[in-house]
A and B are shown apart, each in its own frame.
Chain A
């Protein structure tokens, strides 16, 4: 893959060869609180075999832009400008025209494969549906084509998979099915809206490999919407940066990521934590100064946590895990989804009982306490959860939210509580005026700051942070991390920091614990684990994490492929048989399937 054939950025006059183009696109939503101008006149085009990454933070209008290409906006939206898919103008199409365009000319890969697939239909039904709707294949022929598609996206035993339901597949396989559905009708362009955001990093790398080979082999154009600069560096030929509905910068991946011209792009890139750069990216992390004889802030000994399920064998989520967090130390708990990292965090908070083993907070065993003593121990632990939308009680103003732990533990009076809250608001760099505001009035990053302030209200010795920044935009994440390091230096709390993002762990943690399937794979000082991993799993994990620099990322990708080959694994790619025929929709000018029109109707009814 080379970027040489990509022409210079800027307004391209020849639209004949673009498979997807937006000209002066603007979108306005009518809402209860007046009009919201989501997209303000942007020009963008995607050519065959090209990946254009549309980058921006939440609310920048990137998803709205992509939805206009499919004509899938809610009714309160007004779309201006011209959108062309191939040679069709989307705005001029009626309902029927739109339906025949969707899937056929432009297809979509969604963020969350579990919700993009219908849980009550088999994989086979969902794959053949599009084929039949567009008159490409019917009956046995369609099933055969569906199996072929599954083989192409690298799902083994396609015939068996066709009869399965989405919940029987893993997340990565589900996303492969979604991609198979997207390429079923051989669209000219695929819109991938955050296709890997919901996936683990190793699965993400596979899916990106697959998408890359797809555009190379089928010459499909891809509009990739993402907030992850690593994904951009890995995939994109050209990059368009969106800010509040405007395109602020477009160019090749190298131009935008390595030589950004717009201030916003520069800020955005500076905010991305860089795996391998270690601490100091967003403020220095204080060294641990706990004496060895000090009690550890958290000590887990041979911890086993089990979930009892009705009608099924007990599920062992955490198996024989021993780890300890010294006072003032930040320990990063890393792992993919299902590795048990959040379960451990919840157990350390006393929210889930341990099946066996011990959980000690500063030398006191959590599992043996009841009532008042338990409450007293809880005072010494703070918690920050992942989702800023659900971690604050929507009915309480911020001041009450932060003061709540003081009230629960009956500490101080009205006035001292208020003083403490204002002090904490200052510490987390929020204006004092948020005291009377409600959570819904704050942005995600601000809410997460409130969460952190609440966690620090009682001056805890241990803070358990469960993915505190993964729901945030990068620039917000950078600010929160900066503040977090500053707070840690000031309050010297120990911290169990759960994250799936290795780059965040790299800049924050003193020690790292890698989990897989409830067991510890590797643990040790940060430099050792993240920069010279000994275990194969850790190596894979680190190799799969993308970095936001195209050339370096290409090196890393090749190194990862070499690692996979060395470990005897395949690199994910589109498998195309020699006798592969591109599907041709049978249809006449009016857009109805011609030869098999009767059959389609029968199928639809």
Chain B
């Protein structure tokens, strides 16, 4: 009843009796015009409809802006690699301490016990945490999607093998395997850690995608594609996965936020990012004893983690609502 066509201004009444109105059939027959396609009136693809709904979700849009600011500030302030940033202080250098190192104008986040600029340190930690989170999100999404799609589409022995493998990964305590592998892998830098974390956190998504693919493969358009002789790979990539993209994106978003928390836990326990490099979890771990005396050393990185995780979760919520309009909650 809530036909989407209704939203379409100027859309003519699409009743079948309208005969072929070749708008520029002549231009087409000549084959010359640059844009031979008739029908300039606005047409919304599924993606555009999703975007429209997403941008109406206030919490999600706000979160996206906040997250954007955090990302920009984290990367531009102290610079990345050899590229210098606009923040004058370096996170490795020790400066003269002002008082007990509480936040001042010169050191907005305060100074740590040795006199290092805490703003620069937190920005460095945020950079690492974000890189790990997004890398983990991407890796686990790719692996999970691939395994879920293959298992769901092919069924049979392939599904048995892949899903039993998934079961094995699920029953191993995540923190333990991540700690053991993470300790080894952090020797290869943060991307090594991200790779390991990504390779142990794809299981949930694989199951979700498999379920979605199981239902999609029975749809008539997949049968129709098979009937014209479409290759399985093309069916998966063109007909099945694009229709599962809602599940995948939402779950990828949420896996990013859980990756931030996982990395924090690991670093806090000392298995994650190793000094002299730093991440938000490492910072908290390092200064946990200072919680009572210099609370800012705990609160700044803590606040960062909270904000990032919360933002990502809200974005995930917004995406979920946008992809599945049926769960329409009344907004505001």
Q: Which residues of A contact B (CB under 8 A)?
A: 29, 31-34, 36, 38, 59, 346, 349-351, 374-376, 378-379, 381-383, 385-387, 390-397, 399, 404-405, 408-409, 415, 418-419, 422, 425-426, 429-438, 440-443, 445-446, 449, 451, 454, 458, 464, 476, 479-480
Contacts and interface: CB of A to CB of B under 8 A. Distances in A.
B20 A426 contact: yes
B41 A391 contact: no
Contact of B224 (A383, A431, A438, A440): A383
A438 B39 contact: no
17 contacts: A33-B2, A33-B7, A382-B228, A383-B224, A393-B225, A394-B243, A395-B239, A397-B45, A409-B229, A418-B37, A425-B20, A429-B19, A432-B38, A433-B38, A435-B39, A442-B14, A445-B16
A203 to B, nearest CB: 25
A386 B223 CA distance: 12
A349 B325 CA distance: 35
B173 interface: no
B299 interface: no
A454 B2 contact: no
Given A408-B229, A429-B16, A445-B16, A391 B224 contact: yes
Interface of B: 1-8, 11-12, 14-23, 25, 28, 31, 36-39, 41, 43-46, 219-221, 223-231, 234, 238-239, 242-243, 245, 325, 328
A432 B23 CA distance: 7
Given A31-B1, A385-B224, A436-B39, A431 B20 contact: yes
A433 B41 contact: yes
A480 B15 CA distance: 12
Given A393-B221, A432-B38, A349 B21 contact: no
Contacts of B6: 33-34, 36
Contact of A32 (B2, B19, B43): B2
Contact of B243 (A376, A387, A393): A393
Nearest to A480: B16
A33 B8 CA distance: 9
A32 B221 contact: no
A351 B227 contact: yes
Contacts of B226: 349, 351
A433 B227 contact: no
Contacts of B21: 431-433
Nearest to A346: B223
Across the A-B interface, give the 6 residue pairs with the lowest CB-CB distance, nearest first: A433-B39, A378-B229, A391-B220, A31-B2, A375-B229, A385-B220
Contacts of B5: 441
Contacts of A399: 37
A351 B223 contact: yes
A395 B43 contact: no
B216 to A, nearest CB: 10
Contact of A349 (B19, B37, B38, B227): B227
A441 B16 contact: no
A33 B7 CA distance: 6
Given A381-B227, A394-B243, A440-B4, A415 B31 contact: yes
A376 B45 CA distance: 33
Contacts of B245: 395
Contacts of B23: 432-433
B43 A404 contact: no
A440 B46 contact: yes
Given A393-B239, A394-B243, A441 B37 contact: no
Nearest to B6: A33
A144 B77 CA distance: 81
A258 B325 CA distance: 45
A430 B18 CA distance: 7
B22 A432 contact: yes
B232 to A, nearest CB: 12
Contacts of A458: 228
Given A395-B46, A426-B20, A432-B20, A379 B328 contact: no
B18 to A, nearest CB: 6
Nearest to B234: A408
B1 A59 contact: yes
